[in-house]
């Protein structure tokens, strides 16, 4: 369970002054559900997810992940979260197995449990053929599988995916989307950011539309279609962003 | 802080470092092979150049001397002096290194000497040119002998003893052990090398584990794991420190071996009088190592912190390159003769350790300075490490893009 409460992130830029990357965002993601955070580039998706993964600290507000506060108990939160994005690269000089073991150890797993966990994940993801190959010698697909194994090794109840399919080919994208679905089916809480509408339609149980750091609309895909009287999600997205842009100007 | 996690991070960084060709080259191959090869090569070339210059006969010219045939004949007979016919453009010839020196014998020199006057003999040289200096020394030696012979002749003519020439002798006598002589002569090189290598060894891993990690995109991966940032920075820092110490130790050992080989070769060449042998007792090695330890911590932490601000490996390189000069200046200053430890100098980082190690190598233990320098360097190192940990916790530094 993820409960986001009035989350804010402000950055200071010498030229532009204060930037509100995330501005008073609140939402809830439940176990067995995929929450899709939909927004254009620079909308605040990555900053929100980085705060949930405790990589960045909120300027105000907080979030509670499986009972742990992201501000007060950041390390505890990280043991409950698996974080995957296109920016989470692999250590090039470690083998796939060493890399997954490294993250398992950092998650406090003892050697026997770690070995069992690694063997079972490698079996499930069909990784045994390249488990002893260094990460810089792996293909994109193999790297993605290794990244998935890294996020799974400590069996976290919450999965955070930040644009995980960005720049990937169709087959690798399918591996990732399949994995996201599998996480939901196993009862994990999944939050997922993207700007690709088809992925949202295929995967998300609940969608939040974010623009300029603000959460503008939220609901299931069906609810959003009813509310904005549009079938096409892209049109809905444009309407939401345009409405709020006009409202902001009028305000 | 979790020692277990620091250990996990350290082991992982060590595994990666040992698989990285660039780290291996900068930390092991260069200190172990390149520096000794350079030292031996330069030493050998230097010895060869000096040897060749000292064996080469000096081409000289004589101005005047027509009325002093004994002097001219004597000069012509001097071994390693080749008197060539005199030309009017002798100054240009010296300047163009065609001849090494010109001896100007004044008119009526021999007669003037016999009359007991004090005529001046001038030797024209190219000041600073080694071969010209060799030529001038040979000429001077001839005239000194000629002068002694003249005085001896006069004394004998008056039945006076030869000892009148030298009523007493003055000579210098070394009262310090050869170990201390060696320490004073080139003992400063050992700490200089150790300090420089501590820096060189730390440089590449410091960049790789900070800016390199940002560039490769693994920083976000590791920050999403539950390891505390303090544990992470300490694990990484320990690897930088290991590389720094390994490079310094390997360099000192290989240079020590090269020195003894060179010194042995020199003693074979010059008979028993070779270079003073630099012998280092195990306790001296240990003492130098102990003093180098806080310096290595200081360098590792400072380099680590600076490269943390860079977004890429190249950017880190441009930040760290000037640091080499910051380290070189005090390290070189300590090698210069005449600079001795004072309470004020004992507080200047790098220079203090360099000066102290020079004394340690020479076998002198000033305990008050040892304690003062060790503690002050530990404090500097501690502050630098604290800064590294603090910087690693700042989002603006980690995500500077």
The three-state (H, E, C) secondary structure of B203-216, written as one string: HHHHHHHHHHHHHH
Closest CA to B354 of B192, B240, B207, B178: B192
DSSP secondary structure letters along A62-118: EEEETTEETTT-HHHHHHTEEEEETT----TTSBHHHHHHHHHHHTT--HHHHHHHH
Q: Name the residue with higher pLDDT: B354 or A189.
A: A189
In chain A, what residues touch B221 (CB-CB under 8 Å)? 88-91, 150
* pLDDT tens sequence across B355-389: 887 777 777 788 888 888 888 888 988 898 898 88
Q: Which of A8-17, A150-159, B26-35 bottoms out in mean pLDDT, i.e. has the lowest?
A: B26-35
Q: Is B62 helix (H, G, I), strand (E, B) or coil?
A: strand
DSSP secondary structure letters along B241-299: HHHHHHHHHHHHHHHHHHHHHHHHHHHHHHTT--SPP----HHHHHHHHHHHHHHHHHH
Beta bridge partners of B63: B104
pLDDT band per the 50, 70, 90 thresholds, residue A92: very high
The pLDDT, as a whole number, for residue B275 is: 53
In this complex, is the C-beta atom of A47 within 8 Å of any C-beta atom belonging to chain B?
no
Instruction: Nearest chain A residue to B216 by CA: give it.
Output: A89
Residue B262 scores a pLDDT above 80: no
Across B166-182, average pLDDT: 81
Residue A195, exposed/middle/buried by CB under 10 A (0-12, 13-18, 19+)?
A: middle
Contact A98/B218, CB-based, under 8 Å?
Answer: no
What token pair was written down for A61?
């507000």
Measure the CA–CA gap between A10 and A5, rounded to whole angstroms.
16
What token pair was written down for B198?
């501590």
In this complex, is the C-beta atom of A152 within 8 Å of any C-beta atom belonging to chain B?
no
pLDDT above 90 covers what percent of chain A? 47
Residue B14, exposed/middle/buried by CB under 10 A (0-12, 13-18, 19+)?
A: middle
Residue B274 scores a pLDDT above 70: no
Pick from A53-57, A85-89, B336-340 the range whose average pLDDT is largest: A53-57
Asked whether B62 and B72 are in contact (CB, 8 A), the reply is yes
CA B47 to chain centre: 16
Across B343-365, average pLDDT: 81
Across B341-348, average pLDDT: 84
Q: Which of A44-58, A200-214, B13-27, B352-366 bottoms out in mean pLDDT, i.e. has the lowest?
A: B352-366
Residue A168 scores a pLDDT above 80: no
In this complex, is the C-beta atom of A57 within 8 Å of any C-beta atom belonging to chain B?
yes
Q: Which of A69-73, A114-118, B178-182 bottoms out in mean pLDDT, i.e. has the lowest?
A: B178-182
Residue for token digits 């012979």? B149
The pLDDT, as a whole number, for residue B188 is: 67
Measure the CA–CA gap between B398 and B311, rounded to whole angstroms.
9
Instruction: Nearest chain B residue to A13 by CA: give it.
Output: B396
Measure the CA–CA gap between B359 and B340, rounded to whole angstroms.
9
A136: DSSP letter: G
Measure the CA–CA gap between A230 and A222, rounded to whole angstroms.
10
Instruction: State whether ipTM is beyond 0.90.
Output: no
pLDDT band per the 50, 70, 90 thresholds, residue B270: low
Measure the CA–CA gap between B271 and B266, rounded to whole angstroms.
8
Contact B226/A90, CB-based, under 8 Å?
Answer: no
The pLDDT, as a whole number, for residue B176 is: 82
Residue B297 scores a pLDDT above 80: yes
What token pair was written down for B322?
């000037």
The pLDDT, as a whole number, for residue B123 is: 94
Nearest to B225 among A76, A89, A107 (CB): A107
pLDDT above 70 covers what percent of chain A? 97
Residue B229 scores a pLDDT above 70: yes
pLDDT band per the 50, 70, 90 thresholds, residue B19: very high
How far the first Cα of chain B sits from its last, in Å, is 29
Measure the CA–CA gap between A224 and A212, rounded to whole angstroms.
20
Residue B120 scores a pLDDT above 60: yes
* pLDDT tens sequence across A226-250: 988 888 888 888 888 887 765 555 5
Mean pLDDT over the full length of chain A: 88
pLDDT band per the 50, 70, 90 thresholds, residue A72: very high
The rounded radius of gyration (Å) of the Cα atoms in chain B is 31
Residue A80 scores a pLDDT above 90: yes
C-alpha dihedral (A37, A38, A41, A45), degrees to nearest 10: -10
How far the first Cα of chain A sits from its last, in Å, is 35
List the Cα angle A158/B221/B231 in 5-degree steps.
100
Asked whether A21 and A44 are in contact (CB, 8 A), the reply is yes
Disruptive mutation site among A70, A103, A133, A159 for chain B (greatest number of B CBs within 10 Å): A103
Residue A172 scores a pLDDT above 60: yes
The pLDDT, as a whole number, for residue B279 is: 61
**Inter-chain Cβ pairs, chain A and chain B, closer than 8 A:** 64
CA B290 to chain centre: 22
pLDDT band per the 50, 70, 90 thresholds, residue B50: confident
CB atoms near residue A201 (< 10 Å): 14
Instruction: Nearest chain A residue to B11 by CA: give it.
Output: A102
Residue B199 scores a pLDDT above 90: no
Q: Name the residue with higher pLDDT: B26 or A31.
A: A31
pLDDT band per the 50, 70, 90 thresholds, residue A251: very low
Closest CA to A26 of A247, A243, A241, A208: A208
* pLDDT tens sequence across B308-336: 888 888 999 999 888 888 888 887 777 77
What token pair was written down for A169?
């080919």
Across B178-183, average pLDDT: 72
Across A66-88, average pLDDT: 89
In this complex, is the C-beta atom of A221 within 8 Å of any C-beta atom belonging to chain B?
no
The pLDDT, as a whole number, for residue B272 is: 47
Residue B64 scores a pLDDT above 70: yes
Measure the CA–CA gap between B32 and B27, rounded to whole angstroms.
9
Q: Which of A21-35, A62-76, A184-198, B155-169 bottoms out in mean pLDDT, i.e. has the lowest?
A: B155-169
Pick from A11-25, A192-206, B8-22 the range whose average pLDDT is largest: B8-22
The pLDDT, as a whole number, for residue B400 is: 64
The rounded radius of gyration (Å) of the Cα atoms in chain A is 19
Beta bridge partners of A82: A159
Closest CA to B380 of B341, B338, B352, B400: B352
């Amino acid at each position: 369970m993820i409960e986001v409460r009035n989350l804010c992130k402000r950055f200071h830029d010498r030229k532009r002054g204060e930037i509100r990357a995330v501005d008073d965002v609140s939402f809830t993601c439940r176990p067995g559900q995929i929450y899709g955070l939909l927004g254009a580039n620079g909308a605040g998706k990555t900053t929100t997810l980085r705060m949930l993964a405790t990589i960045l600290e909120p300027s105000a507000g907080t979030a509670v992940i499986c009972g742990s506060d992201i501000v007060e108990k950041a390390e505890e939160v990280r043991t409950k979260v698996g974080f995957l994005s296109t920016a989470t690269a692999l250590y090039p000089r470690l083998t796939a197995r060493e890399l997954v073991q490294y993250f398992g150890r950092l998650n406090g797993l003892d050697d026997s449990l770690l070995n069992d966990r690694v063997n079972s994940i490698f079996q499930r993801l069909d990784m045994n053929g390249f488990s002893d190959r260094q990460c810089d010698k792996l293909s994109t697909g193999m790297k993605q599988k290794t990244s998935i194994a890294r996020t799974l090794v400590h069996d976290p109840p919450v999965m955070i995916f930040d644009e995980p399919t960005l720049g990937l080919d169709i087959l690798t994208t399918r591996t990732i989307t399949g994995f996201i679905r599998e996480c939901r089916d196993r009862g994990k809480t999944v939050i997922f950011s993207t700007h690709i509408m088809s992925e949202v339609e295929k995967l998300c149980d609940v969608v939040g539309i974010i623009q300029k750091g603000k959460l503008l609309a939220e609901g299931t895909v069906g609810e959003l279609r009813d509310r904005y009287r549009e079938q096409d999600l892209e049109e809905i997205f444009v309407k939401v962003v345009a409405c709020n842009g006009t409202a902001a100007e009028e305000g | 802080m979790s020692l277990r996690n620091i250990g996990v991070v350290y082991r992982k960084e060590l595994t990666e470092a040992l698989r990285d060709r660039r780290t291996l080259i900068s930390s092991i191959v260069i200190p172990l092979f390149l520096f000794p090869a350079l030292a031996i090569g330069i030493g050998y070339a230097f010895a060869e150049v000096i040897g060749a210059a000292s064996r080469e006969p000096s081409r000289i010219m004589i101005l005047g001397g027509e009325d002093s045939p004994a002097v001219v004949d004597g000069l012509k007979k001097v071994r390693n002096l080749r008197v060539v016919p005199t030309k009017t453009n002798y100054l240009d010839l010296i300047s163009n290194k065609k001849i090494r020196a010109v001896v100007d014998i004044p008119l009526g020199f021999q007669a003037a000497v016999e009359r007991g006057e004090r005529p001046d003999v001038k030797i024209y040289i190219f000041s600073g040119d080694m071969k010209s200096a060799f030529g001038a020394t040979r000429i001077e030696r001839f005239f000194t002998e000629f002068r002694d012979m003249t005085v001896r002749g006069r004394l004998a003519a008056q039945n006076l003893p030869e000892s009148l020439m030298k009523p007493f002798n003055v000579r210098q006598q070394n009262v310090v052990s050869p170990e201390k002589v060696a320490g004073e002569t080139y003992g400063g090189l050992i700490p200089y090398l150790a300090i420089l290598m501590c820096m060189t060894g730390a440089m590449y891993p410091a960049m790789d584990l900070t800016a390199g990690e940002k560039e490769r995109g693994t920083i976000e991966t590791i920050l999403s794991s539950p390891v505390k940032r303090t544990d992470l920075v300490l694990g990484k820092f320990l690897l930088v420190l290991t590389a720094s110490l390994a490079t310094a130790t390997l360099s000192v050992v290989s240079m020590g071996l090269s020195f003894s080989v060179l010194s042995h070769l020199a003693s074979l060449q010059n008979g028993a009088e070779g270079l003073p042998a630099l012998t280092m007792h195990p306790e001296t090695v240990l003492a130098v190592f102990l003093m180098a330890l806080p310096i290595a911590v200081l360098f590792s932490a400072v380099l680590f912190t600076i490269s943390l601000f860079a977004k890429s490996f190249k950017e880190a390189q441009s930040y760290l390159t000037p640091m080499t000069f910051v380290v070189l200046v005090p390290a070189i200053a300590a090698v210069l003769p005449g600079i001795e430890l004072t309470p004020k100098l004992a507080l200047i980082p790098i220079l203090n350790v360099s000066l102290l190690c020079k004394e340690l190598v020479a076998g002198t233990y000033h305990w008050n300075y040892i304690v003062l320098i060790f503690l002050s360097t530990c404090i500097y190192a501690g502050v630098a490490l604290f800064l590294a940990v603090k910087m690693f916790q700042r989002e603006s530094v980690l995500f500077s893009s």
